[in-house]
Structure 1
Amino acid sequence: PANVAPVAVFTSAVSGLSVSVDGSGSSDADGSIASYAWDFGDGGTGAGATASHAFAAAGTYTVRLTVTDNGGAAATTTAEVTVAAPVEPPAGQLFADAFGRTVASGWGSADVGGAWTLRTGANRFAVADGVGRITMPGSSTVNVDSAVIDSTSTSFTGEFAVDKINDAMYIGLIARRVGDDQYMVRIRTAADGSARLNVLRGGSTAVGAAVETGVVIEPGAKYLFRVDTKTAAGVTTISAKVWKDGTPEPGWQVERTNNVAGLQAPGSVGVYAFVPNAATRVPVTLTFDNLQVVNPDSVVVPPVDPPVDPPANVAPVAVFTSAVSGLSVSVDGSGSSDADGSIASYAWDFGDGGTGAGATASHAFAAAGTYTVRLTVTDNGGAAATTTAEVTVAAPVEPPAGQLFADAFGRTVASGWGSADVGGAWTLRTGANRFAVADGVGRITMPGSSTVNVDSAVIDSTSTSFTGEFAVDKINDAMYIGLIARRVGDDQYMVRIRTAADGSARLNVLRGGSTAVGAAVETGVVIEPGAKYLFRVDTKTAAGVTTISAKVWKDGTPEPGWQVERTNNVAGLQAPGSVGVYAFVPNAATRVPVTLTFDNLQVNALP
């Protein structure tokens, strides 16, 4: 069979200006890889399954791997690598680790200063979520050291937190380790978390007495530490402090000197922990972050700027809107603002002795009149601002005697008819997009082959006179304008105006949607586009009989007598019901869309 070409793949890892590559994942389905040839994109080459290369300058390079199998077939793959010169640590910085990497077992290598060395099992250590983590059962000890730091004058700082507190639990900060000997600052927790500090040489030899720090270690809280170690004239001084994050940094809590010659050389720093056998709150997770070692003698301390007085508090701005309904007013001050903070309180004075609080408020006045409403807002810095506005309230106007329903359409409604002036909300029985209120009329807009219905709320009378005005902008043959005299449930009495092509109007009374109550009549009225027409429909029930009387006439002409009068004895329509309007534009209509308007609709009780 023909030789199958190999598959070339590789991975890369960058460190500063250097790259390490590994092509051992390449494969050959019918044989083996005989050779690996690397081209690093800057003229450098290499051979073998793994290789490394140092670039002369920072940049992005295309690395090419060519593998050849034992049958002579070759395959090539490329990948870009980006290298950069390592960032030099700040002046005086000897070691630093912010734990920004992820390591499943162990602590890996610090950001500055090389790899961590574990003196106990790696499975207790991990790096994740920006911290170096140590997890410990009861009766366990852990140690981890940095590489040797080339100075005998060091300041070791960092942060730690612990998730559980046990009595006689130790957290150790290794100030200097040389060979098998060390100086360690040891924090011993009591059962209540109170921390005692001591300096040890080796594992357990105290250098002076332990001291109470006054610090209480709380589960989950962050604590800061600083351990300075300085050797001069054959004497090493170890100074230490620990404090809770967010509290002032204290002075040195413990200072000790020692003259052991073997510990006067440069060494490593590190951390140590011990959980006793008697511990009941286990496992214990201890985390470290932002560990750093600097030479305090070579750190340039920048000058401290003099304190700057905080800017003066800017006063807030008070604004409000108001809405009147009868003798009541609703106010809203939520538009008030504070440029450098927030509004802390709102105080309302309604000008009649009444007060209120909060961004919004309402108040009922005892009498009609004009009142000065005052809003005072106070910001979170204590500054206040005031604004005033006059509101005029009046007792709601009672409808005239006998008036049951009225609508002059003085509002604006984009879709639908909203609520009448007297009598409640209109109910649409067809799509709201055909209805609107504007310019003082209720408007209905209709294409060809369309029907609309709109009803009032139920009117509590069986003896009513329904009056109003209407106009239409176009006339079509067999177009209907309906005046609903009474609607109860799904049944109704309707007076229907039918227009001929020339606008002549025929009047009829219908029960339901199409059942005539008597014959249609010619009114002698001609409906003209744009002209205003008046109507009156009286509906009266007595002794089991309902009488419907109707007339329509052009505005400016004498009101005629009844043009149609009909009686009907359907029991279901002898109860109070709603009034309304109806319209129909036939499919054959050519003058479309048709706009029909109504105004000054009113229902009054008949004697």
Structure 2
Amino acid sequence: MLDKRIGMLVTILLLFAIFNNGNAVEEKNVYFYIVEGENAFELIAVCNGTNYTWYFGDGSMGYGKTVNHSYSDGEYNVRLIVKDNGKEIVNETVMFSTYNTPPSADFYYSPEYPYTLETVYFWDNSTDPDGYIINWTWDFGDGSTGYGKFVSHVYAKAGKYNVTLIVVDNNYEASHVTKQIIVRNRLPIAKFRWTRENETLMFYDMSYDEDGYIVNYTWYFGDGTVSYERNPSHQYAKDGTYTIKLVVRDDDGGVGEVTKTIRSDNKLPTPDFVYTPAQPTDLDNITFTSISYDEDGEIINHTWYFGDGNISYEENPTHRYADNGVYTVTLLVVDDEWAFNYTQKRITVLNVPPVANFTWEPLHPVPGRNVTFNASLSYDLDGNIVQWKWDFGDGFVGVGKVVKHKYASHGLYNITLTVYDNDGANSSKTVKILIANLYVDDDVYDPANNTWNKIQDAIDNATDGAFIYVME
């Protein structure tokens, strides 16, 4: 079967390559086409508008999306103007000859009897005896359309579909062909598991239907009793080994079934788990380790529900939460007789607080001049900073990412920046900065910013009571 499918795929790809490499004709947009009838030609617009005006090229006109017109033998410039609520959207003129022979539409497809959700490939096989084809329009019969010489389509539901191909030649004459394709239903998949409360066994359906939904459930409990509920419960008269059969029917009449042999006195598996780190953050990859066991068999399946919409089927998975919060983690285990049990634990995932950091300019500030404080170096690894608060150390405060402040006098001030993230966490940073009247720096001569490279120059420019800071 595998070799056959590989062969079919290779054939499809080869045909695709042949059609694409051999298709030297560029497909053209077609705003209308012409169909030859017994007594007249039918002109059909393929665009949507509110007003259609036709100039037939022989001095006469027509109106409507589809019109009929009788031509004498000859060649004509046919013009179509389409307006939508007064706005012109199409103004197309083509040369049409009544001597033209219309194309002959044909196509084939593969596979011959496809299933739902399976890709069906369609190939054009049309011919034109006196010209060439310029446009291919496909109607797949389920409300979908396609364009081109080679197309593919996937059917969502089983049924019979009428596929129509319309081809238009270089004379803008068209023909069509319709073929029926039968799309087969995919059978539903029957699955179940069970658990126990005291002496009562509770059966849980896990069946599914890929291309529809299940409409009927029939349970055979192996002791002569039957149930039609989706998730029935049952109590056996005596302990023993029983063959359980579940039969499901989908909305297209397809049937699937599964049979399992269980012991009614089978001990349920015992689920349990641990995780590390013990106090995780939303930046941590948390390792979950199952320490579950089964007294009278073995565990064959682990299903983890992390409480944030994510699921894992590994025995010992790792998971990272996108945001901090309290999550309920559920571990469900199934033993070798398809009995299940589960346990839940609440895990608190912590927020990582933001990091406060800032710069200031000028680096050597003086009284009476603005100092610009910039918190752009602050960051939050698991979110974003939403507020910046400043304490300038002189009794004044500020708010914002970038702020300005003037100090009235020289001195040493504690500047504190506190940042708050989108989860309400905060952190602070305090830096001592010196406000001096003049600075002496051997490597800087900048009188405009009260900085000299010689002590005497600073003294010469100082006023009474000025504070001069000499850099080391």
**Rg bigger for which structure?**
1
> Which structure carries more helix by proportion?
2
> Which structure carries more strand by proportion?
1
User: TM-score, with normalisation over the residues of structure 2?
Assistant: 0.31
Q: Relative contact order (alpha carbons < 8 A, sep ≥ 6): 1 or 2 greater? A: 1
User: TM-score, with normalisation over the residues of structure 1?
Assistant: 0.25
